[in-house]
Amino acid sequence: MSPRFPPVRSPEELLDLVTEVGFLPFFANPIPGFSVEECCPKELWFAKDTDGPWEWKGPAARSGRCVYGKLFQKKAGFVSREWFPDLANFRRDGYDFDARFDDGLAPIRDRDLYDAVARRGAVLSPELKELCGREGFDTSLTRLQMQTYLCVADFVYSLDRHGRPYGWGVARFTTPEALLGPEPVTSAYGADPRESRERILSHLRALLPNADSRRLEKLLG
């Protein structure tokens, strides 16, 4: 049985749902019903006369109420401001990025990407690729998002001659610390990372009582 989430018809309703449930993948996944894709009516996707969930990603990402990026099995989704500290504590395993690199747990490619974003505050994806090179770029960028060191700050669109945005949008990357502030991101650092993992899993089991536990664990990572 799928979770009975309310239908999402506006960016405000999307943010309200993310805030309520804490974790929400963007695309359909092995847990039926647990995604933005399945919560939003089909007529709102890529409609000509109105924005839909694809366009709502940017406002949601820059709202400060959640973090957006590749956070679920290397695929995109949202984590609420309330739950992100536990996710960061678990995924980072107690390491700030510099400490991870110093201990030999991160490759130079990841360091170059992370440093380029951290120094500038936010960088568009094409610019970041030019700064750091194309080889292994997507793999490193995905890994840094999964480890919660980078996230999407916004999406930037091209404008037509009438000043209206069009196209898929280009992601602007930042650090969660720059987006939310350092304290909200690291506030769970005092707990053992395994405690944060179990706290998240307990929340997800209560939220999705019919979901297979192994699928929940795999989704969390």
pLDDT over 60 (residue 213): yes
The confidence band for 6, taking pLDDT boundaries of 50, 70 and 90, is: confident
What residues have CB less than 8 Å from 61, skipping those under 6 apart? 67, 68, 151, 152, 153, 154, 155
Q: What is the pLDDT of residues 46-100, one digit of tens each?
A: 888 788 999 999 999 999 999 999 999 999 999 999 999 999 999 999 999 999 9
Other beta carbons within 10 Å of 93? 14
Angle at alpha carbon of residue 109, lines to 154 and 190, rounded to 5°: 70
Closest CA to 57 of 143, 155, 178, 132: 155
The confidence band for 161, taking pLDDT boundaries of 50, 70 and 90, is: confident
Q: What is the pLDDT of residues 102-125, one digit of tens each?
A: 999 999 999 999 999 999 999 999
Q: What is the pLDDT of residue 50?
A: 85
Q: What is the pLDDT of residue 2?
A: 54
> What is the maximum alpha-carbon separation in the chain?
54
Domain boundaries of the chain, sorted by first residue? 11-220
